[in-house]
Structures are given as structure tokens and as C-alpha cells.
């Protein structure tokens, strides 16, 4: 099915080049899996959007109206990708926002991406990214529109690699280009803190919730390059991949290349509506 979109710009809407989303990246976005006509992990995406709005000082649109729009676009789609963009409204020059301008809100739905790593279940090949993530605690964890670091990291991928570990300025692993990291170490799982940089993913939130509620042996801990390489298994998670094992990181080949049973329930939950899950990091 072709791509469809809906937009709800403010009353002074004009050409996209004049909008703050285009000029300054002044906004947030969410990328959702759509399975059997339903936007998956809706509550987690909405909670992250709500937290981002509070941090950036953006008004959150009515959640019921957002869900109705998402379901209208998703209806009849067995598998698709829904993109939601919420940005400060208003146009004109200068960094200052117009306090009277209503926010821009766009939704677009399109086909599921083809090819690895998106259209498969096999383990991923990763490398160490040469792109260092900059520290900015005010933006750490947010799914904001400024993604040039990820664009550069994706451009730097070697042939045959699907992902890369991105490090902060102190050499600590933060995330993949498009997903969070989960290290298996002696029967327990570790995920890096998302504080000064990086995106607090919805699947990461799902796993942390499973740790609190169901006893999944997972905790947040700093991960150095050496600790990553010494681990028993490595996984990448995001809303379209679910939880995917990593076959290799650079020259390091991991003995665990399948999802352990402890992660299967969370992986399946990634592709359901999950309207009641709370996102608390």
C-alpha cells in the first residue's frame, strides 16, 4: 500500500521550509511499528512524547485524538511504519518561538522497510562507530529531530555491517545508531544509562518495566568497550527490530546468537498495541 499522511499544522502554516521543524529541528518524533492495523507499543511512545514535550516546552496534543488519527492511518495495514512528528509551530526568522502559534503535528504511514536489518530475524553484524555522541543533558533521552550524528554514523558503516555501537566522549557505550544496547553478562542483562546523550527507546523501557514487574535480570550499568567485547551476548532493540541478537562486534564473535527465552515475551510484546504499559525510566 502507498504512503499516506495527515498534518495538523498551526493556523499560520506555510511552506515546510518556513516551519520550525525544518529550520531548527525544534520538535520530536516517534516511529511506530504497525501490525494488523494497530500502532504497537502505543502507551510507551505516547509517554516518551509526553516527557519530550515537557522538556522542550511543547504542548501535547489530545492523546485520544492522536490515537484516533494513528488508528485511522493504520487501518487495514498488516505491517507498516507510522511516523509522528510534533514540532513547535510558527514561522519566520530567529530562534525565539511565537508563544501564540499552535504546534505542528504530522503523521505519515508507509511500507515496512525491506532488507536487513529490518526485514528479517537473523543476527546483526556491528562495528564500533567513529562518530562520538555529544553530551547535552537537556536533550539526553529525547527522540528529538536533530539526528545528524546518526546520519554520519550510518554513512560510516562498512559493507556488510547493519549497525554500530556509538560511544560518548568518555568512551562509554551509549547506543546503536538506531537502537539501544543490551549486554548478556554471566546470566544477567545490562543496558547503558541514557543521560547526557542517546535515545531512551520504547523497547528499552519495556525491558526495564519487565525487570521491575517480572524479575527480568536486567539493570542499568555503564558499558565500556572492553566490557562489551567480554560479554556473552549482545542485543539491539528498537520499535521495528524488537530485540535482535548480534553475531559480531568488529572482530568479536558472540557465542549467543539467538534470543534467550527470557527475552522472548518482551520481543513479542514489541509488536502488539500494548495500550496499558507505562514508561518510567
Q: How many CA atoms lie within 13 A of 149 on its CB side?
A: 25
Q: Is the dihedral of CA 139, 141, 142, 144 positive or negative?
A: positive
Q: How many CA atoms lie within 13 A of 258 on its CB side?
A: 3
Does residue 16 surpass a pLDDT of 70? yes
Query: For residue range 79-107, what is the model confidence (pLDDT) as tens digits?
Result: 999 999 999 998 778 899 998 999 999 99
**Cα dist. 86→9, 211, 265 in Å?**
9, 31, 31
Q: What is the model's pLDDT at position 91? A: 72
Does residue 10 surpass a pLDDT of 60? no
Query: For residue range 118-169, what is the model confidence (pLDDT) as tens digits?
Result: 888 899 999 999 999 999 999 999 999 999 999 999 999 999 999 999 999 9
**What's the whole-number average pLDDT of the chain?**
92
Q: What is the model's pLDDT at position 181? A: 98
Q: What is the model's pLDDT at position 3? A: 57
41 contacts 206 by C-beta, under 8 angstroms: yes
Short-list 86, 12, 32, 13, CA closest to 54: 86
Does residue 40 surpass a pLDDT of 60? yes
Q: Which long-range contacts (CB under 8 A, 24 or more apart) does 54-59 make?
A: 55/138, 55/139, 55/142, 56/26, 56/27, 56/28, 56/88, 56/142, 56/144, 58/27, 58/28, 58/86, 58/87, 58/88, 58/103, 59/102, 59/103
**Cα dist. 195→15, 91, 140 in Å?**
35, 31, 5
6 pLDDT tier (thresholds 50, 70, 90): confident
Q: What is the model's pLDDT at position 90? A: 84
β-bridge mates for residue 233, sequence order: 184
Give mean pLDDT, residues 205-214: 96
Q: What is the model's pLDDT at position 269? A: 95
Give mean pLDDT, residues 4-29: 74
Contacts of residue 170, defined as CB under 8 A and 6 or more positions apart, other chains included, come to none
12 contacts 3 by C-beta, under 8 angstroms: no
Q: pTM for this one?
A: 0.92
Short-list 222, 250, 218, CA closest to 237: 218
Query: For residue range 72-82, what is the model confidence (pLDDT) as tens digits?
Result: 999 999 999 99
Task: Quote the cell numbers at residue 88.
Answer: 513547535
Q: Rounded to an integer, what distance in angstroms lies between the CA atom of residue 262 and that of residue 250?
A: 26
* DSSP-assigned letters across all residues of 207-240: HHHHHHHH---EEE---BHHHHHHSSEEEEEETT
Amino acid at each position: 500500500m502507498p504512503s499516506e499522511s495527515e498534518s495538523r499544522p498551526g493556523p499560520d502554516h506555510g511552506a515546510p521550509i518556513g516551519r520550525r521543524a525544518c529550520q531548527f529541528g525544534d520538535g520530536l518524533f516517534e516511529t511506530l511499528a504497525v501490525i494488523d492495523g494497530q500502532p504497537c507499543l502505543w502507551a510507551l511512545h505516547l509517554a516518551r512524547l509526553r516527557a519530550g514535550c515537557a522538556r522542550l516546552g511543547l504542548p501535547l496534543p489530545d492523546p485520544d485524538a492522536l490515537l484516533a488519527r494513528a488508528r485511522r492511518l493504520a487501518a487495514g495495514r498488516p505491517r507498516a511504519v507510522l511516523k509522528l512528528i510534533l514540532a513547535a509551530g510558527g514561522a519566520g526568522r530567529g530562534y525565539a518561538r511565537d508563544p501564540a502559534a499552535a504546534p505542528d503535528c504530522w503523521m505519515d504511514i508507509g511500507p515496512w522497510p525491506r532488507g536487513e536489518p529490518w526485514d528479517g530475524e537473523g543476527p546483526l553484524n556491528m562495528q564500533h562507530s567513529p562518530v562520538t555522541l555529544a553530551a547535552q543533558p537537556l536533550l539526553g533521552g529525547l527522540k528529538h529531530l536533530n539526528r545528524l550524528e546518526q546520519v554520519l554514523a550510518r554513512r560510516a558503516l562498512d559493507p556488510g555491517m547493519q549497525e554500530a555501537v556509538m560511544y560518548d566522549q568518555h568512551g562509554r557505550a551509549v547506543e546503536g545508531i538506531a537502537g539501544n544496547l543490551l549486554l548478556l553478562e554471566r546470566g544477567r542483562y545490562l543496558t547503558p544509562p541514557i543521560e547526557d546523550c542517546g535515545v531512551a527507546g520504547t523497547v528499552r523501557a519495556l525491558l526495564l518495566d519487565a525487570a521491575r514487574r517480572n524479575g527480568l535480570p536486567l539493570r542499568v550499568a555503564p558499558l565500556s568497550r572492553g566490557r562489551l567485547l567480554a560479554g556473552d551476548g549482545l542485543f539491539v532493540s528498537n520499535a521495528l527490530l524488537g530485540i535482535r541478537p548480534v553475531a559480531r562486534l568488529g572482530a568479536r564473535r558472540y557465542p549467543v546468537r539467538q534470543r534467550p527465552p527470557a527475552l522472548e515475551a518482551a520481543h513479542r510484546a514489541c509488536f502488539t498495541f500494548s495500550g496499558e504499559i507505562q514508561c518510567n525510566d
